[in-house]
Amino acid sequence: PRLRVELAGITGSKPEISYYSPVFEDPREVPVFEGAYWAAGLRRPVRLMQAVQAAAEDGYGLFTELGPRPLLSGALRDTLPPAALITEGDFYDQVAAAATAVVPRTRGRVVDVPHSPWQHTRHWAAPKRPPAGHPLLGVHVETPAGHAWTTTLDDLADAPWRLPPEDWHRDGHPVLPPSALARLAHAAATEVHGEAGLRDVTLLGLLPLPAQVTITLSDTTIELSAKNAAGAWTVHG
């Protein structure tokens, strides 16, 4: 199998303490911890009950399941004799129970096992942002009368327009080209209704720049208005 091939370069050795294998038919058979053994563990039945019974027959009476969430204490209790001690609870509770059950072999003292250092890292998914509308359409406000956008138009040579000066100057004065007016109207309609088309576009006058512009949409009608230096509003299209 693939695991055997991937572990072929690992040199295994035999355990130095008593080990009862759940892989072999005879749990007392001493394994060599190499690729072939771990591959056999994936393909053969798990003989955990036979291994536990063999350990109990050889005089072992304290059994501890080490894992993040012990699940086998019930099965061990059904398999082992009543005199066997089976620790339960989380890892630290089991270590404490084992330490108090075993007669100390040295004059050392029992100390707490250090806790695992947790790395607190957030893994929240970034919220999805709605697709942005036209970069010069401005702030969108929905009112009882419809929809409105307010923006300031200035230098059309910068992004996102990047228009050459001859396209937005008339007689040396900067103005909003009719094509730009149509693009803003189309962007407003698309933002509200989805993909939309324009018809019956009317240009009422050139819009001098810079200007504060308001675009309104009511039902199917779009108007573009601008405020002049005197504070008066004029509809341009």
> What was the pLDDT predicted at 133?
63
> What was the pLDDT predicted at 62?
83
221-231 core/surface letters (b: 16 or more CB in 10 A; e: else): ebbbbbeeeee
Q: Is the dihedral of CA 209, 210, 216, 220 positive or negative?
A: positive
> What was the pLDDT predicted at 132?
57
Domains of the chain by residue range: 2-101, 139-235
> What was the pLDDT predicted at 105?
60
The mean pLDDT value for 86-112 works out to: 71
Q: Tell me: domain 2-101, CATH 3.40.366.10, correct? A: yes
pLDDT band at 106 (very low <50, low <70, confident <90, very high): low
Residue bearing tokens 């955990």: 48
Contact 64, 102 (CB under 8 A): no
95: enclosing H helix or E strand: helix 91-101
Is pLDDT above 90 for 24? yes
> What was the pLDDT predicted at 77?
81
For the chain, report the end-to-end CA distance as a whole number of angstroms. 75
Any idea how long the chain is? 237
Contact 197, 173 (CB under 8 A): no
Q: Are strands 173-176 and 169-170 parallel, antiparallel or unpaired?
A: antiparallel
Is pLDDT above 90 for 26? yes
Contact 234, 226 (CB under 8 A): yes
Of the candidates 178, 168, 176, 177, which has an alpha carbon nearest to the alpha carbon of residue 198?
A: 178
If one compares 208 and 68, the residue with the highest pLDDT of the two is 208
> What was the pLDDT predicted at 20?
94
Q: What pTM was estimated for this model as a whole? A: 0.41
Q: Are strands 85-86 and 62-63 parallel, antiparallel or unpaired?
A: parallel
Is pLDDT above 80 for 46? yes
- Give the CA dihedral 225, 227, 231, 235, nearest 10 degrees: -30
> What was the pLDDT predicted at 113?
67
Instruction: List pLDDT tens digits, range 135-174.
Output: 677 778 888 888 888 888 776 766 566 667 777 777 777 8
Mean pLDDT computed over every residue of the chain:
79
> What was the pLDDT predicted at 58?
92
